[in-house]
Amino acid sequence: MRALLIHHDHLSFAGPVGERLTDRGFDLEERVVVSAEHHHTPDVEFDYPDPLDWDLIIPMGSPWSVNDPGVASWVTPELAMLDKAHAAGVPILGICFGGQALAAALGGAVERAPRPEMGWVDVETDDPSLVASGPWFQFHYDRWRLPPGAVEIARNAVSSQAFVLGRSMGLQFHPEITPTELESWLTHGGDAHMRAEGVDPEAVLEEVRRTEADSARRTHALVDAFLAQVAARAR
């Protein structure tokens, strides 16, 4: 089985999501849309592969918005690729930006959230066997509007947190988070973003370190549930 992980920048990693997929027999191919040298000029062209060549597609997070005109050069073709994959029954697991992109590709929309969410955030769930209740790690300013026919699985007061449509699932949070990933975000602007919102980045990083093992276990369970309950649905 082949899984395509789409990293929109060089600061995102597969973490325990990738670990669990490998455990479950997937061969991972990870592709970076915006390379490190273009991080401050992200209006690049990117040649997406044919999604029908894959058994699973995972679009990951991004420091940019789906609605940012400065990245339309690669967001627009990504939405088309996700729509084609979904229509063909290729399972998709969208994470944060990836979940927002999935929602937009399937007829929903992306909008600014009433306030950003940063750090560990509690989440209400209608199906704890699929998406466990919080806290889950968050770092986002936008939120999605659900696409037609989607079933919302989890939410909080700020935004919808998980939805399922066919063999696809969108997540607003970051189950892949690790101390290494968060350190990379903080070093490249995340520290200032958190402090601007009154969030202590050092305290958040310490909590990510303290809960790393438990977080990985919960993420492994989430991946297992997605594969069993969503990706395994009939086309």
Tell me which of 117, 176, 181, 207 is the catalytic residue.
176
220 a catalytic residue: no
Q: Exposed, middle or buried: residue 45 (CB in 10 Å: 0-12, 13-18, 19+)?
A: exposed
Cis bond leading into 49, ω under 30°? no
Are the C-beta atoms of residues 120 and 207 closer than 8 Å to each other?
yes
Within 10 angstroms of residue 83's Cβ, the number of other Cβ atoms is 17
Are the C-beta atoms of residues 134 and 122 closer than 8 Å to each other?
yes
Give the C-alpha distances (Å, rounded to integers) separating 175 from 14, 43, 132: 10, 27, 11
Tell me which of 7, 86, 140, 174 is the catalytic residue.
174
Joined together, the tokens standing for residue 51 give 């999604």
Tell which residue, 170, 175, 168, has the closest CA to residue 230: 168
176 a catalytic residue: yes
Tell me which of 8, 78, 96, 207 is the catalytic residue.
96
Tell which residue, 53, 51, 57, has the closest CA to residue 80: 51
96 a catalytic residue: yes
Distance CA 39, CA 7 (A): 13
Supply the residues annotated as catalytic. 96, 174, 176
